[in-house]
Structure 1
Amino acid sequence: MSGAGLDLAIIVVYFVVIIGIGLYAARGQKTMETYALGNRSMPWWAVLASILASEISAGTFLGTPSEGYAKQNFIYAQLVIGTIIARLIVAGVFIKPFYDLKVVSIYEFLEIRFGIITRRIASFVFLLTRSLASGSRIYVGAILLVLAWEVMHPEFLKLDSEARFQQELTIYIGAVVVLTGLTALYTTFGGIKAVVWTDLIQVTLMFGSAAYVFYWLLGQTGGWSGFFESVKQPTFVNTGSDPGKSMLQNLKDTDLKWIFQQEYTIWAAFFGSVFTTLATHGTDQDMVQRMLTSKDHKKGQRAVIMSGLIDLPVVIGFIGIGILLYRFYTQNADRAPLHDPGIFAWFMVHDLSPGLRGLLAAGLFATAMGSLSTALNALATTFTKDWYLGYFRPGATSNEQFLMARWATVGFSILLALIGIGTAWVKLKNPELRIIPIVLGSFGYTYGSLLGVFLIGMLTKTRGTCTGNIAAMLAGFAAVAVLTDLPNDVWKMLTGYKAYQLPPWMPVIAFTWRIMAGTLVTVLVGLCFRRKGDAYVARTL
């Protein structure tokens, strides 16, 4: 068997196993509760694997090594500090109220606390934002298929830029459709049980293949001593000032405008990253739905806390792969990338041996399909519970909801595929864009508003009303838009020049600070509105 044939055989076996397990999990499913929550019967360790598969997407698999390759240090890993802190807060504040109320869509909580309008607005924000974020991740998973096609057709590199753009976009369209279609197949029929059990296999394959590549690169580039020689300062902590001073002295001496403009600093880790993870793991149906499949709230809490502790070595490992790739291509300059499709994807296609290449490709597809399947199930669940049942057909039976959830999964598969194709178009037009800011930056504009409303509901008794929440969420979005200079960017894209100049004291904040800014503004505005009468208070349960 040829090298390409061996790789293809491994990938085909992977797809057959995953789809087979997904379809097997579909047996006996006839109710919405089974489809969305698996009757709350999933073991906590399987839920843990599903959380990891959802958050460690293809963007992490390919994007994190790119960060290590570009910077040759571990400062991106600082952000994990905030994710661990945030998961402790999620476990202590968010999970138990969702269990006590027996919600399927977490936005049901907002209806109980504030009213139907807040629930629908929050649900709409999730549907829109999660679709954009998850759709952009599909593009990342398609990168490997595009590179493989280029290797098999070397004449492609000789084309002029316009012809190359057209052909590359066509390949991306095909790759996105294939990945989305296969994932939608087992997700549509198998529901959350298919998602969790296939995620367990996918995350095992991903970790195993990534670990093997790390040690393979280590052996090719001079071992541990060579690895540490390639690490640049600052190694882990980036305060932006004199490393010989204390952290508090650095903060005093550092320009605050500079801090908010940087993506990866210790301040972004302790503040920006905390708010980001609170939003993604406490107010995003995609993540929380995994936790709600556990038998009780304590097991859901255990799963989310453990996922945070595992994140740190995982992120460090993927950054380490990027640093080793930098050393590998420094030593083998003739094999370095001719363009920047994602350094890890280039390495997989051009420099890995057959068999291992197929195994790692399956690991990449596992991450892409794992995060996509969880998103599809969460989007379908939210649409069915909050809109189909809550608005279009209030009297729908559990079986009717179940059937609607399946059709919604198909619908969102099509939508996410279109977004993935759009992301590919943007990246091909702007090759300098990096993967991580694309994936993480897309939800920074809206999730701060979502988190702010949840915090008001969770931590206060009578503050917040539907009218106040609308004003607060709009204020949060507007604040982030102004602080990221979004109006100028849009106007420049349409006209070619800026509409106005920002005052010199005002920072254009990095994507790691967006959710924090939106949350704080939303909370401050929302607290100005007081609800009369009794209200549900999560912390009293």
Structure 2
Amino acid sequence: MFTDSLVIAIYFLAIFGIGIYAGRKQNTLTDYALGNRSLPWWAILASILAAEISAATFLGAPGEGYHTRNFTYAQLCIGTILGRIIVGKLFLKPYYDYKVVSIYEYLEKRFGLLTRRTASMVFLISRVLASGTRLYFAGILLVIAYQFITNTPADSEQIVLLYIAALVIISMATTIYTAIGGLKAVVWTDVLQAAVLGVSMLSALWILFSHIPGGWDSISAVMNGGDDWKFFSWGTEKGFSFLEQCSHILGQEYTVWAAFLGATFITMATHGTDQDMVQRMLAAKNSKAGTRAVIVSGLMDFPIVILFLFTGILLYVFYQYNPAALPADTPKLHVFPYFIIHELPGGVRGLLIAGLLATAMGSLSTALNSLATTATKDWYQGIFKPDATERQLLQCVRWGTVGFSLLLIMVGSVTAWYVVHHPEVRIIQIALGIFGYTYGSLLGIFLLGMLTRTRGNDTGNILAMAAGFIVIAVLTGLIPLPASWEQHIPEIAFPWRVTIGTLATFFVGLCFRSRHVLPR
């Protein structure tokens, strides 16, 4: 374990060094939140990838490959590319034109103050819940490592305590360099974290492949099921009527329809209306550079997802040939971290642990930065201290980083308790499902502002956002309906929630006329 510890120690030293160095000469909120709009597009590209590949993806995507033994999840990459093209061409230019720091400033200019504050609050709540949930996933590997080192099993309550300790350690380390260095620290540490992630995953894939006796012949012998290796899925069934087919498709997670529609709307929401992602794009010199970064990141997503899914497929094959090496009661989302701890040699194991820490800290740092920036710009300066000096704003955003870190630890701890007591839960659905309830409402209002000039106002927007949330809450069973109605309500899989919520919000908002119109 000495070699592993040395690799992890070097990783942490590099992260802290970059964070402290990047924190020099920051005198304004714009310097802290947007890196003075001077970051190169390729660094922003790496930062986007590092933020997207959270610990949920690091563990969840191989878990999906292990569970499904095919590449149908990768279909969603079609929508991520289409969605980013729309974000780059439609969303970024208005943000740059109006020189916003918080993207919700745009909504105030287009509609009014109430819309801005409502959207900002929706983002803050959604991001705390989603990022806190993802934070839990980073603790999985560390808990398994602890049990491996001590060679002692732990009961459920002890496991929860181990998770909480892991979350505190990861969060404290990330908070330090994020609070000191701001967005520059986030982006430049993300560049290093993306490199560590790439090297670690390729190393794991090579070693995993070499551990399977017989190579491709052995893999082909195991992977001979009807859906094995499948990439495209239409999600249709023979003998269904048109309405039955539609209902069935809406209940499927990974289909061509979800790829072209569901994933496109999800990406527009996460990369166009979420301060977390947009903030790093606004750190580029101009909208063209930001557009280049976001579109190229979408093109790179596809091979990355394939790599993660193929890792999961190889894990399935490996444990088919070595069934005794994996405890029978191991949850699917623990299979990859179990392989890392128990099968990888020293040094490579440390590199993979550093890779997981990189994904966790990359997504956590950007969440902390965006949450603190939004709270400072939209609430502290917007309501409590409109005449705040730049020094006061910097103090607020740094203390906000610490405060939101504590909130995320709380959410991650609750998630850990829930998953430990409900091991059948699948990791991707948790991480992505949360956005579905609120991001449709956000995207619907932003599209209303950007696609129309005379529709939408504060009152109508609040009603429209509420309508978008209620529709999804009803379709997913969050709001219970009479038993006689439930049989007529189709089941909605997570890729469709943002799409339906967006359309409901947009069309309700169209019913209201704007009180003032932004010039083109």
Q: TM-score normalised to the size of structure 1?
A: 0.92
The answer as to 2:506 corresponding to 1:523 is yes
List aligned pairs for 1:390-429, cutoff 5 A.
390-429=382-421
Q: CA deviation at 1:19?
A: 1.1
The answer as to 2:217 corresponding to 1:217 is no
The answer as to 2:193 corresponding to 1:198 is no
Paired residue for 2:107? 110
Match of 1:376 among 368, 373, 389: 368
Paired residue for 1:274? 264
8 Å CA contact retained: 2:50, 2:362 = yes
Paired residue for 1:183? 174
**Quick one: which amino acid aligns to residue 426 of structure 1?**
Y
8 Å CA contact retained: 2:236, 2:249 = no
Residues 424-474 of structure 1 show CA distances to partners (whole Å, capped at 9, x for unaligned) of: 011011100011011101111000000000000011001000000000000
Paired residue for 2:82? 85
* DSSP-derived class of the 2:517 partner: coil
8 Å CA contact retained: 1:35, 1:191 = yes
Paired residue for 1:161? none
Q: CA deviation at 1:475?
A: 0.4
Residues 214-244 of structure 1 show CA distances to partners (whole Å, capped at 9, x for unaligned) of: 12222222434444552754410111247xx
The answer as to 2:348 corresponding to 1:350 is no
The answer as to 2:55 corresponding to 1:58 is yes
8 Å CA contact retained: 1:73, 1:232 = no
List aligned pairs for 1:142-181, cutoff 5 A.
142-156=139-153, 164-181=155-172
Q: What CA distance in whole angstroms lies between the structure 2 residues aligned with 1:225 and 1:285?
A: 48
Q: What CA distance in whole angstroms lies between the structure 1 residues aligned with 2:224 and 2:268?
A: 31
- CA, structure 1 residues 148+499, in 2 after alignment: closer, same or farther (shift >3 Å)? farther
Q: Percent identity?
A: 54
**Quick one: which amino acid aligns to residue 61 of structure 2?**
T
Paired residue for 2:245? 255
Paired residue for 1:239? 234
- CA, structure 1 residues 33+232, in 2 after alignment: closer, same or farther (shift >3 Å)? farther
Paired residue for 1:491? none
Residues 305-337 of structure 1 show CA distances to partners (whole Å, capped at 9, x for unaligned) of: 000000000000000000000000000000014
Q: CA deviation at 1:185?
A: 0.4
8 Å CA contact retained: 1:57, 1:367 = yes
Paired residue for 2:279? 289
Residues 115-149 of structure 1 show CA distances to partners (whole Å, capped at 9, x for unaligned) of: 00000000000000011111111110111110011
- CA, structure 1 residues 239+181, in 2 after alignment: closer, same or farther (shift >3 Å)? same
Number of residue pairs matched? Answer: 514
**Quick one: which amino acid aligns to residue 312 of structure 1?**
F
Match of 1:310 among 283, 300, 311: 300
**Quick one: which amino acid aligns to residue 198 of structure 1?**
T
The answer as to 2:493 corresponding to 1:510 is yes
Which stretch shifts more, 110-119 or 346-355?
346-355
The answer as to 2:40 corresponding to 1:40 is no
Residues 13-61 of structure 1 show CA distances to partners (whole Å, capped at 9, x for unaligned) of: 1111101110111111121010000111100000000000111111111
Q: TM-score normalised to the size of structure 2?
A: 0.96
Q: What CA distance in whole angstroms lies between the structure 1 residues aligned with 2:296 and 2:225?
A: 30
Q: CA deviation at 1:503?
A: 3.4
**Quick one: which amino acid aligns to residue 38 of structure 2?**
S
8 Å CA contact retained: 2:250, 2:496 = yes
* DSSP-derived class of the 1:262 partner: coil
Q: What CA distance in whole angstroms lies between the structure 2 residues aligned with 1:449 and 1:519?
A: 6
Paired residue for 1:28? 25
- CA, structure 1 residues 393+417, in 2 after alignment: closer, same or farther (shift >3 Å)? same
Paired residue for 2:469? 477
Match of 2:69 among 65, 69, 72: 72
- CA, structure 1 residues 289+167, in 2 after alignment: closer, same or farther (shift >3 Å)? same
Q: What CA distance in whole angstroms lies between the structure 2 residues aligned with 1:13 and 1:503?
A: 56
Q: What CA distance in whole angstroms lies between the structure 1 residues aligned with 2:13 and 2:485?
A: 54
Q: CA deviation at 1:501?
A: 5.1
Q: What CA distance in whole angstroms lies between the structure 1 residues aligned with 2:391 and 2:20?
A: 19
Paired residue for 1:124? 121
**Quick one: which amino acid aligns to residue 164 of structure 2?**
I
8 Å CA contact retained: 2:236, 2:245 = no
Alignment RMSD: 1.7
Q: What CA distance in whole angstroms lies between the structure 1 residues aligned with 2:161 and 2:73?
A: 33
**Quick one: which amino acid aligns to residue 506 of structure 1?**
I
* DSSP-derived class of the 1:390 partner: helix
Q: CA deviation at 1:262?
A: 1.0
Q: What CA distance in whole angstroms lies between the structure 1 residues aligned with 2:401 and 2:166?
A: 19
Q: What CA distance in whole angstroms lies between the structure 2 residues aligned with 1:529 and 1:429?
A: 47
Q: CA deviation at 1:153?
A: 3.0
8 Å CA contact retained: 1:279, 1:448 = yes
In structure 2, stretches of 5+ residues that fail to align are: none
Q: What CA distance in whole angstroms lies between the structure 1 residues aligned with 2:386 and 2:427?
A: 41
Which stretch shifts more, 122-131 or 254-263?
254-263
8 Å CA contact retained: 1:186, 1:194 = yes
* DSSP-derived class of the 1:203 partner: helix
Which stretch shifts more, 470-479 or 257-266?
257-266
- CA, structure 1 residues 536+228, in 2 after alignment: closer, same or farther (shift >3 Å)? farther
Paired residue for 2:254? 264
In structure 1, stretches of 5+ residues that fail to align are: 158-163, 489-497
Q: What CA distance in whole angstroms lies between the structure 1 residues aligned with 2:168 and 2:330?
A: 24
Q: CA deviation at 1:166?
A: 1.0
Paired residue for 2:518? 536
**Quick one: which amino acid aligns to residue 281 of structure 1?**
H
Which stretch shifts more, 321-330 or 435-444?
435-444
8 Å CA contact retained: 1:218, 1:227 = no
Paired residue for 1:141? 138
**Quick one: which amino acid aligns to residue 475 of structure 2?**
L
Q: CA deviation at 1:252?
A: 5.3
Q: What CA distance in whole angstroms lies between the structure 1 residues aligned with 2:298 and 2:241?
A: 27
Which stretch shifts more, 121-130 or 11-20?
11-20
- CA, structure 1 residues 503+462, in 2 after alignment: closer, same or farther (shift >3 Å)? same
- CA, structure 1 residues 232+108, in 2 after alignment: closer, same or farther (shift >3 Å)? farther
Paired residue for 1:495? none
Q: What CA distance in whole angstroms lies between the structure 2 residues aligned with 1:42 and 1:408?
A: 23
Q: CA deviation at 1:499?
A: 6.5
Q: CA deviation at 1:191?
A: 0.2
Residues 233-284 of structure 1 show CA distances to partners (whole Å, capped at 9, x for unaligned) of: 4410111247xx9xxx999596211111111111111111111000000000
